[in-house]
Amino acid sequence: MTLLVVAALGAGGWFFWQQYQRKKAAEPVAGEVATALVEARDIRFAINAAGDIGPADQVSVRPEIGGKIAKLPVDIGDKVKKNDLLCLLDDKELSADRETRVAEVEGAKLQLERAERTHHRNQKLFTDRLISQEIFDDSRTDYSLATNSLERAQRALHTVEEKLSKTQILAPFDCTVLTRPVSLGQTVSGAAGFNSGTEVMTIANLNDMIVNAHINQADVTRLTTGQEVEVQVESVPGLKMTGLLERIAPQAVIKNGIKGFAARVQIKQIDPRIRPGMTAILNIPVASVENVLAVPLSAVFTERGDRYVYVKKEEGFERRPVIVGISDLSYAEVQKGLSEGETVALEMPMEERGKPPAPIGGTNGERAKPLKATRVADKVPPKAALQPGKGRVEDVKRKSVGSFRASSPCPRLFATFTFCVSRSPPPRMALVELRNVSKIYRLGGEEIRALDDVTLDIQIGEFISVIGPSGSGKSTLMHILGCLDSPTHGTIQLDGVMIHDASPRQLAAIRNQKIGFVFQFFNLLPKLSVLQNVELPMIYAGKNGRERSEAAMQALKLVGMENRAKHRPSQLSGGQQQRAAIARALVNQPKIIFADEPTGNLDSNTGEAILELFRKLSTEGRTIALVTHDPEIAAITPRRIEIRDGKIADQVDPKLAGLNRQ
């Protein structure tokens, strides 16, 4: 028995030791670059959007005449067949009025018969010249008056009978009662009144449902009517339905601060659990490929419109141009430049970070020209020979440190740099630290988690993108990081200051001194000049006029807008307005810049210019967080954080996703 126990303990210990070794091997060593294999897979690119579910046919039931409700046989949620009674008004007064009108019609008929007999008799007597013309004309007039009286009485009777028919309201189709704001015995006004009548109830056909969605303008050109749509409902986990894209509005509208187009999706088969007003998540397939070479999206980098990856070699990493095809939020198809089985970096290698941008020859996919090392400053000791990938650059003006391997061919850059030898780059410090942050909204009895237990680090000098579909929580994350909102749970540290429990006054000071914002809609004050708009953050900071003017002009020069300083926003193009907004974000020398869909209101060419400006600012060592739903825009950043359903996506590499590693 003792031997069995010892053997069992030994086997268990060996098993757990093996598991530990595997787990340890799977975890990258601190400082290592996370990698992935180039492999064949299927890629499906789809557009995601959110919308509200509603009935295709919904009717507000209002009586055409006023009166008191005598019968109200239905209530909220009742299913009603076509031509069944919905509501009946009290018809006692109308019934009495009808009896009076019937009596008037009968009396008018008797008068008409008498006038007709008199007229025919006088006509015969007048023909025989036995009565005068005057008597004949009087009888003819009496006959005409009697005819008119009968017609008036009949019209009055018809009017009363029509009102009587409108006292009962019947179901126009098979329907369900959605609302019923009135009660039995209540007096209601008719639709002919000044207020369009009292709403008795709202009915709808719940067997025919649609989704009214808002499609971002960047995605709408990829859609056509008739496309099949996958519909998921947040309130019913696991439920998936199919729909058909019926219509796309020709005119753009702004909803929740985002310009886009209204779209209507017809749901094919309705699940009985679906109710009007529920939120639907739409997944619209746009393109797909099967069994193609692919790499994680985070492995593809973009510079001036060119795409490249870092391929692992024995001596390090080789920067290689690639041609990219279809991509989704996780993987990108590689049409040229890689072979199956090669290993690529999922983040920029340490020796490449902070290096001046190197030109890539030609267009997307052409072979890059090799980087060429140039002269080193005279302050480097003679014995210290710089090796590629083993040095660093110190910017004397900005006192920031970055990796050095090869320099730009532009000789102007060397006036501001000195070099020193370092075998390894200095460790980066976390500028932003989020720990278990959640943001919860409560609507009625429902709890909505816009952010769900998010842990994230942003290092000093990083250029990151937060990517995810509409409604994923990425804007909520930016608002909390930017001190525009507070978390429900969790802690946030920004530049050494705990901000999750700061007062509104403290948050305002932090926003002014440490954070720069760039919004989709620019948010420039229309009555101020560009220079005055850029000066605004410094006014709140209490700086004097001369200092404000000089700093604002310097910021405008940085973004190439110094010649538009006296213009007003209405005199600028969209791209120029966004450049002015970026200058405003930079003017107080913030620790971090948050850009929320900065190209959402710009055309593609202007958007590329703005992204190039952000990339340039990043190479100067500024910390930038870019929020977008477009994978192609996110591809310009060395690090991407994917948000889904309020969480950092699990399938993204933890180091890339910003998860804390001990």
Provide the residue ranges of all domains of the chain, joining segments of one domain with +.
Answer: 58-89+167-207, 91-166, 430-657
pLDDT of 39 > 80? The answer is: yes
Predicted pLDDT of residue 358: 52
Fold entry, domain 58-89+167-207: OB fold (Dihydrolipoamide Acetyltransferase, E2P) (2.40.50)
Q: What pLDDT sits at residue 351?
A: 73
d(CA 467, CA 444) in angstroms, rounded, equals 30
User: Is CATH 3.40.50.720 the classification given to domain 91-166?
Assistant: no
pTM: 0.48
Please say if the pLDDT value at position 25 is more than 60: no
Element (H, E) at 35: strand 35-37
Please state, in angstroms and rounded to a whole number, the distance separating the CA atoms of residues 325 and 583: 35
Residue 401 has pLDDT above 60, yes or no: no
Query: Phi, psi (5° rounding) for residue 562?
Result: -65, -30
Mean pLDDT calculated for residue range 60-87: 92
DSSP for 486-548 reads --SEEEEEETTEE-TT--HHHHHHHHHHHEEEE-TT----TTS-HHHHHHHHHHHTT--HHHH
CA angle 623-626-629, nearest 5°? Answer: 165
Percent of the chain residues past pLDDT 90, beyond the cut: 19
Helix ranges (DSSP H) in 258-345: none
* Among the ranges given (180-184, 333-337, 501-505), the one the predictor scored with the smallest mean pLDDT: 501-505
SS3 at position 413: helix
Question: Any idea which architecture 430-657 has in CATH?
Answer: 3-Layer(aba) Sandwich (3.40)
Band (149; pLDDT cuts 50, 70, 90):
very high
Would you state the pLDDT for residue 618?
A: 82
> Is 384's pLDDT higher than 60?
no
More confident residue, 635 or 367: 635
Of the segments 331-345, 476-490, 594-608, which one has the largest average pLDDT value? 331-345
CB 658 within 8 A of CB 649: no
- Mean residue pLDDT of the chain comes to 78
Specify the residue for token string 């058909």.
244
Check residue 478 and give its pLDDT: 84
| Per-residue confidence (pLDDT) for residue 388, from 0 to 100 | 36
Reading the block at residue 121, the tokens are 């008799």
Tokens 């579910």 found at: 53
Query: Residue 376: is its pLDDT beyond 70?
Result: no
The arithmetic mean of pLDDT across residues 124-144, rounded, is 88
Mean pLDDT check: name the lowest of 2-16, 333-347, 415-429: 415-429
- pLDDT score at 482: 84
Q: In whole angstroms, how large is the CA radius of gyration of the chain?
A: 38
The predicted model gives 649-655 an average pLDDT of 48
pLDDT in tens, 290-328: 899 999 887 888 776 678 899 998 888 888 999 988 887
pLDDT computed for residue 15 by the predictor: 63
Convert the pLDDT of each residue in 530-585 to its tens digit.
898 898 888 877 788 888 888 889 888 888 888 888 888 888 887 888 888 888 88
The contacts found for 17-26 with CB under 8 angstroms, 24 or more apart, are: none
Q: Contact, 581 vs 522, CB < 8 A?
A: yes
pLDDT of amino acid 601: 66
In which band, very low, low, confident or very high, does the pLDDT at 26 lie, cut at 50, 70 and 90? very low
Please indicate whether the domains covering 58-89+167-207 and 430-657 agree at the CATH topology level.
no
**Could you tell me the sign of the dihedral formed by the alpha carbons of 654, 655, 657, 661, in that order?**
positive
Give CA–CA dist 490/439, Å, rounded: 9
Q: Which residues of 218-238 are buried (b: 16+ CB within 10 A; e: fewer)?
A: bbbeebeeebebebebeeeee
pLDDT of residue 136: 87
Please tell me the distance from the alpha carbon of residue 306 to that of residue 369, in angstroms, as a whole number. 13
pLDDT tens digits, one per residue of 446-495 = 788 888 888 988 888 888 888 887 778 888 888 888 888 888 888 988 88
Over residues 234-259, mean pLDDT: 85
In the block, tokens 């900071």 appear at: 541
